Structures are given as C-alpha cells and as structure tokens.
Amino acid sequence: MAIDGLGEVLIEQLIDQEIVRDVADLYTLDLDTLANLERMGKKSAENLLAAIEKSKQTTFARFLYALGIREVGEVSARVLATEFSDIDALKSATAEQLMALRDIGPIGAYHVVHFFAQSHNCEVIDKLLALGVHWPKEERKQLDVNHPFHGKTMVLTGTLTSMGREDAKARLLAVGAKVAGSVSAKTDFVVAGSEAGSKLDKAQALGVKVLDEDEFLRQL
C-alpha cells in the first residue's frame, strides 16, 4: 500500500489540519482539498490521487505490513498472509495459534492479538476495505519441507545477474526460507553475488556456508 508522492511533510500537513485522522482517510481525499495545500497545486494533487487509487490494489501481506502492527515486519506479514485465508480469520486467531507459526514468536503473537482487540483498529480496517482497498485471494500453497532452503536462514549479499535482490528474496520466502539482513552464527547460507562485501567476510569467519549464484540457482 505504498503511495508514491506521499511524503512526511505532506502527511504532517494533512494531520495538522485534521484532514486525515487515520490511514483510511487518505482514500477519502479529493482534488480541491489537496490542491489547496501548501506546495501542492492541481497537477501534483492529480498525481497523488492517481497514486492513491493505484495503491488500493495490493496483496494481503503488504496490507498487513502497512497496518503497522508492532513486531510484524515484511517477513512475518508474509507468514501471516500465507497461514490465514483472510483478515477475519487473522482477527480471530489466538496467541497459541500465532506462536506456532515460523517467525512470529510470543512477542509478535501478543502484539497481533492486542492490535485486533482494539476496536479502533478494526474500524479502520473495515473502512479501508469499504473504500476499495483489496487484494487477490491466493490459494494456500503447501510448502515443500524437503526443499534445501525450507526453514533455513538466508542472507543475500552482492549483485545477482539473474534476478534482482527483491525477486531473490521473494523466491526464498516462497519456499519457506527466512531472509535476514545480517550474518550471524544462526545463518545457514549466504548467497554471494558479484561485489559481495563485509557480509561475505563475516560468513567466512563464522564458517557459514556460502553459495555462489550458480549453486544458489541449482538449489532454488
């Protein structure tokens, strides 16, 4: 639900003038209101409204991440989106159910349950959906637990020639891997593209298995 052209300065204006009280209010903005804001103008307002309209089409994982639930980052949002069929199923999830999921844990489970227990948060979600925010229903896929990267903690470093960093990350998440941003003793594999830097050095120092791009693609 990222919206191009919606920067911090503009958000502050909208909040200070009480035009926007929650994220759902962004989807009620009109041309006149935006065009009259400081340093906006009609053309900028039209572009922003187009970006807001475009952002209505999202994915369940991005929607959950955009809600700003504490301890729910991109990886855990994807896990929740995969495990629960829709927002109503997630709203009714118990802490025990959530703690059983990979990458959630007791603290994350507490914050998810606490978030949906707040009536205001549920009202904002209902408002967003009523205003047209939507995502395609994805069939739940059974992960291959025998995949060499399933359940493994992976770190990407350097540049891959066959795909971008985000594509590689998405493909790893799709097979049940966890993608971390830094190397530690708990890292299972480091995928090293060209011009790999300090992460590669640390992996070698810790004895973490390093995969070059060819080996990574063979196992993926």
Domain with 72, as residue range(s), is 60-130
* Burial tier of 61 (Cβ tally within 10 Å: 0-12, 13-18, 19+): buried
**pTM to 2 decimals?**
0.66
pLDDT band, very low/low/confident/very high, at 140 (cuts 50, 70, 90): low
| Paired tokens of 198 | 């300090």
Note the pLDDT of residue 165: 87
| Paired tokens of 28 | 């009620």
Region 105-132: mean pLDDT is: 97
pLDDT digits (tens, 9 = 90+) for 8-65: 999 999 999 999 999 999 999 999 999 999 989 999 999 999 999 999 999 999 999 9
pLDDT digits (tens, 9 = 90+) for 153-193: 999 999 999 998 888 988 888 788 888 889 999 999 999 99
CATH code of the domain covering residue 190: 3.40.50.10190
Distance linking the first and last C-alpha atoms of the chain: 29
* Burial tier of 44 (Cβ tally within 10 Å: 0-12, 13-18, 19+): middle
Of 4-13, 124-133, 142-151, where does the model show the most confidence? 124-133
The reply to whether 80 falls in a domain is yes
For the CA atoms of 57, 62, 66, 69, the dihedral, rounded to the nearest 10 degrees, stands at: 140
* 85 and 114 in a common domain: yes
Q: CA angle 142-143-146, nearest 5°?
A: 130
Identify the residue with better confidence: 144 or 131. Answer: 131
The reply to whether 145 falls in a domain is no
CATH code of the domain covering residue 42: 1.10.150.20
| Paired tokens of 77 | 């949002």
- The total domain count for the chain is 3
Note the pLDDT of residue 50: 97
* 43 and 70 in a common domain: no
